[in-house]
Amino acid sequence: MSNVVTARSLSKSYGEFNALKSVNFSVQRGRIVGLIGPNGAGKTTILKSILGLTTFDGHLDVFGLDPQKDRHKLMQKVCFIADVAVLPRWLKVSQALDFVEGVHPRFNREKAERFLSKTKINKNSKVGHLSKGMVTQLHLALVLAIEVELLVLDEPTLGLDILYRKDFYNELLTEFFDEDRSIIVTTHQVEEVENLLTDLMFIKNGEIILDSTMDEVSERFVEVMVSSDKAEQAKEYKPIAEREVFGRKVYLFDGLSPEVAQSLGDIHRPSISDLFVAKMREVSA
């Protein structure tokens, strides 16, 4: 499978602060990568580097282009939604369509109009008169109608109510995603994207602390619910996290063999948020 993004020793510092400490990663065609990390971990710096919105050290290749030099060429193949409500308030819906049609060779206007016809958005409205959810719908309609090969979403559902959030990801999967395209998404709402992702990347303090496919994650990590009498025995296998549910201990193991796990108690797949919390604490400990 071909890489759409390849980063080698990617670094970025703001004065004394090292936002990215020489990270390596790649994103392949046809994958949906979740980039998860706490605030200030370097998520946004990675995205900005990929989009050519910041300078960096090291090597970064996006569709064979250097984002620092060829940003506007890159934007023919890459699009991004940085945050909700970055559409300017004075822009009319019809003007937004005209604009993207005028500057983007891969924009499919009919497709965008079809999305909009499913919403309550009036084409003569100004963005400033739309609700926050509608602005996101508009932005999504514009971006999903552009036939780009990589879509970068930074906290796309921030500030949206839950009805819109569900729709957002549904549309993303049904209308945009296919095996020729890739998506990189960052979010705090890990539960929402959990079933969407094919790849998972955890980042902390400018370093990537986990980078694997979702299949590998479910093979490697296991959560075991252990009755109190087996707790001591379970601890010998060095769980990376423990918590208590209804008086029983739940341990999270990294690389524990299935046979051992089963002998200790009930096993199930850990949620990404539990895994995230465990990995964040593990590194700082």
Partner 1 sequence: MNVTTFKTLVLREYWENKSLSRTPVIISCVILFALIVGMFTAQSFIFSMGDNQLFLDKGLSEISDANLSELSQAITGFQYGVFLAPLTIGLIFVLFFYSLGSLYNDRRDRSILFWKSMPVSDFQTVMSKVFSAFVVAPSLTAAVAVVAQVVGLVLLTIMVWINGGSAWNIVWSQSSLFTVIFNDFMALFLLALWMAPILGWLWLVSAYAKKGAFLIAVFVPLGVMLVEGLMLGSAHFGTIIGEHFAQLEYLGESMVEKGHPFGVFSSTGFWIGLVISAACIALSVYIRRYRDDSY
Interface residue with partner 1, options 18, 76, 119, 273 (CB under 8 A): 76
Does 80 help bind partner 1 (rule: CB under 8 A)? yes
Interface residue with partner 1, options 27, 37, 46, 104 (CB under 8 A): 104
SS3 at position 250: strand
180 backbone φψ class: left, alpha, beta (φ>0; ψ -120 to 50): alpha
Q: Which parts of 30-59 interact with partner 1 (CB under 8 A)?
A: 44, 48, 51, 53-55
Query: Who contacts 123 (Cβ-Cβ below 8 Å, separation ≥6)?
Result: 92, 93, 94, 97, 116
Question: Which residue from 72, 84, 141, 79 is spatially nearest to 111, judged by alpha carbons?
Answer: 141
| Residue placing its CB nearer to partner 1 in the complex, 98 or 216 | 98
Interface residue with partner 1, options 19, 35, 81, 226 (CB under 8 A): 81
Interface residue with partner 1, options 11, 28, 58, 71 (CB under 8 A): 71
SS3 at position 20: strand
Q: CB atoms < 10 A from the CB of 132, how many?
A: 13
| Residue placing its CB nearer to partner 1 in the complex, 24 or 55 | 55
Torsion of CA 171, 174, 176, 180, to 10 degrees: 160
Does 90 help bind partner 1 (rule: CB under 8 A)? yes
Scanning 28-36, 79-87, 179-187, 250-258 for contacts with partner 1 by CB under 8 A, the matching segment is 79-87
Does 102 help bind partner 1 (rule: CB under 8 A)? yes
| Residue placing its CB nearer to partner 1 in the complex, 132 or 235 | 132
Tracing tokens 């108690």 back to the chain, one arrives at 265
The tokens describing 223, both together, are 């959560």
Binding site for partner 1 (CB under 8 A): 44, 48, 51, 53-55, 71-76, 79-83, 86-92, 95, 98-105, 139, 143
